[in-house]
Amino acid sequence: FVFGIEALSPEDRAEAPLKLCRFFEKAGFLPTQLAVIKEEILEMLSPLAQGLGLKVRRVKRWKKLDKAKLSLFETFKQRGIGF
């Protein structure tokens, strides 16, 4: 499932591991794996993931996120909500 999404500006990317730790702490939940699209993010998060015992993998697309997005838009469409 999609645990969370947060867009970071290029300037904030160095803070990604710390922000991710804060997110896990606030959620009270630690996933078993992380899926990232960009190689640089994989490299940035790998030490943190290894320290927490998480798998981190690179994917071409977030298929489940795409599916959730389509479902959400379909719900909006059925309720007459357009963008």
pLDDT by residue (tens digit) across 1-48?
556 666 777 787 788 888 888 888 988 989 898 888 889 889 999 999
Residue 77: per-residue pLDDT: 85
Residues 47-62 have pLDDT tens digits of 999 999 999 999 887 7
pTM, rounded to two decimals: 0.63
Residue 58: per-residue pLDDT: 92
Buried b (16+ CB within 10 A) or exposed e, 35-44: bbeeeebbeb
